[in-house]
Amino acid sequence: MGFWDNEHCEYCKGLIVEKIVDLPRKVGQKYILIKNVPAGICKGCGTRYYTANVLKNIEMIIKGRRKAERKIPMVVYSL
Ligand SMILES: [Zn+2]
């Protein structure tokens, strides 16, 4: 039983399935990439959902309480 079993999207009522994703986040002027994030993804519209616990972990990473695994250069474009 996964966390998202029998959960449905609040926008399109589609089925939500759990997937491990990479999550890019903008922190101040920098972008960070958080890998291996468990997310619930709507099969209908692709909206991502995160559990409270996952959000808490993301928050901790963003606040710099965890050391980065590695740093990679990121290319940024503006329109
Ligand atoms: Zn949806």
Query: Can you give the residue ranges of every domain in the chain?
Result: 16-62
The yes or no reply on domain 16-62 and CATH 3.10.20.860 is yes
The alpha carbon of 78 and the centre of ligand 1 are apart by a number of angstroms equal to 29
Which protein residues have a CB closer than 5 Å to ligand 1 (ion)? 9, 11-12, 14, 42, 44-45, 47
How far is residue 62 CA from its own chain's centroid? 12
**pLDDT one digit per residue (tens) for the chain, 79 residues:** 678 988 999 999 999 999 999 998 888 888 888 999 999 999 999 999 999 999 999 998 888 878 888 888 888 888 8
| pLDDT for position 66 | 80
| pLDDT for position 27 | 85
| pLDDT for position 32 | 87
Q: Where are the alpha helices (DSSP H) in 1-79?
A: 52-62
The alpha carbon of 67 and the centre of ligand 1 are apart by a number of angstroms equal to 34
The alpha carbon of 51 and the centre of ligand 1 are apart by a number of angstroms equal to 16
The alpha carbon of 14 and the centre of ligand 1 are apart by a number of angstroms equal to 5
| pLDDT for position 1 | 65
| pLDDT for position 67 | 84
The answer to whether the CB of 17 falls within 8 A of the CB of 1 is no
Q: Helix (H, G, I), strand (E, B), or coil: what is residue 62?
A: helix
